[in-house]
């Protein structure tokens, strides 16, 4: 990752939005939102997204996006599960990679993360790792509730010191996927504050932070999509986190919902249309609006310079 993206966020008290994509249309929508708000942005992809797009296609998409994008953009591997997947992501052009060893024993997580850091740093690529485990299902992530646990601040300090990671994803109450919470989301800001004290110079990352707006859920239900019970993290919690050491906030589920709303609304209004460019354009506009709102919420607007 371009170091200044998260270092500047840490220094100036805001968070950079990191949004997942698995096709060109979603990436263009993310970039449009960053240019609209004059925000730095992180475009990230999972292992399955890389496979879906195709490595050679993705290489050229990244090259073109860097040429076209008018604000700082970084490409990032989300939830890499092995050194091999990290190598593949670096080969396609990622500026940063995440190795997710959060379900491994602590010492094993340290050992493999250190090997990833050594490999990536030799190539000028930054590394994010995870300590603590978020429950939920999303893309390549599937963690049962019983196996989730909060990040231990003392372990976090030891982990960063022994691995040399550039940023650390922590578990303070967020969850992956659309069906995150039975009740209202609560974030453990007390844990975050303890980690901040022990790691004052390390940018922290929040995974599983999709908003899953209630109005969006209601709209999908109206359009015939059974997404009843979907809940996300409230905006006020994300805004508070972004003013602390949380320098990168991930989003994926709410982008999927936004795209689907746009597509289905267009089909509903134009049921004779078979031109995918028209319904995709409306879906892309929904993503751009969503991500722009997130950037304003995280405080990254007008931070592109």
Give residue 142's pLDDT: 45
CA angle 207, 50, 276 (to 5 degrees): 100
Q: Choose the catalytic residue: 78, 139, 252, 254.
A: 78
Give residue 268's pLDDT: 83
Give residue 229's pLDDT: 66
Give residue 31's pLDDT: 98
Classify 141 as helix, strand or coil: strand
Q: Which helix (H) or strand (E) holds 79?
A: strand 73-80
240: tokens are 């508070």
- Once rounded to an integer, what is the mean pLDDT over residues 240-246? 92
Active site residue 152: no
- Once rounded to an integer, what is the mean pLDDT over residues 183-199? 88
Mean of the per-residue pLDDT values of the chain: 88
- Answer whether residue 101 shows pLDDT above 50: yes
Sign of the four-CA dihedral 88, 84, 116, 253: positive
Q: First and final CA of the chain: distance in angstroms?
A: 16
- The answer to which of 40-54, 64-78, 123-137, 161-175 has the lowest mean pLDDT is 123-137
- Answer whether residue 141 shows pLDDT above 60: no
- Once rounded to an integer, what is the mean pLDDT over residues 85-97? 96
Q: Residue 140 and residue 157: Cα distance in Å, rounded?
A: 27
pLDDT (tens digit per residue) in 272-292: 888 899 999 999 999 999 999
């Amino acid at each position: 990752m371009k170091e200044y993206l998260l270092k500047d966020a840490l220094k100036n008290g805001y968070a950079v939005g990191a949004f997942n994509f698995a096709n060109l249309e979603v990436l263009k929508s993310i970039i449009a939102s960053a240019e609209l708000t004059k925000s730095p942005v992180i475009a990230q992809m999972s292992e399955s997204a890389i496979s879906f797009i195709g490595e050679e296609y993705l290489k050229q998409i990244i090259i073109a996006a860097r040429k076209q994008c008018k604000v700082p953009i970084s490409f990032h591997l989300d939830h890499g599960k092995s050194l091999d997947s990290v190598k593949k992501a670096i080969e396609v052009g990622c500026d940063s990679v995440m190795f997710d060893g959060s379900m491994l024993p602590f010492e094993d997580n340290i050992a493999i993360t250190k090997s990833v850091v050594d490999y990536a740093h030799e190539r000028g690529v930054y590394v994010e790792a995870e300590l603590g485990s978020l429950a939920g299902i999303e893309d390549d992530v599937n963690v049962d509730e019983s196996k989730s646990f909060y990040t231990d601040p003392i372990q976090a300090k030891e982990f960063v010191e022994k691995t040399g990671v550039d940023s650390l994803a922590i578990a303070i109450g967020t969850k992956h996927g659309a069906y995150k919470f039975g009740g209202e989301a609560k974030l453990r800001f007390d844990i975050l504050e303890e980690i901040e004290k022990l790691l004052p110079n390390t940018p922290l990352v929040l995974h599983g932070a999709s908003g899953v707006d209630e109005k969006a859920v209601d709209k999908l239900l109206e359009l015939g999509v059974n997404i009843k019970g979907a809940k996300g993290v409230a905006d006020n919690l994300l805004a508070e986190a972004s003013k602390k050491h949380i320098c990168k906030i991930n989003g994926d589920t709410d982008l999927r919902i936004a795209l689907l709303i746009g597509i289905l609304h267009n089909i509903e209004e134009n049921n004779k249309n078979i031109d995918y460019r028209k319904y995709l354009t409306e879906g892309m506009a929904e993503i751009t609006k969503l991500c722009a709102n997130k950037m304003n919420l995280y405080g990254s607007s007008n931070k592109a310079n």
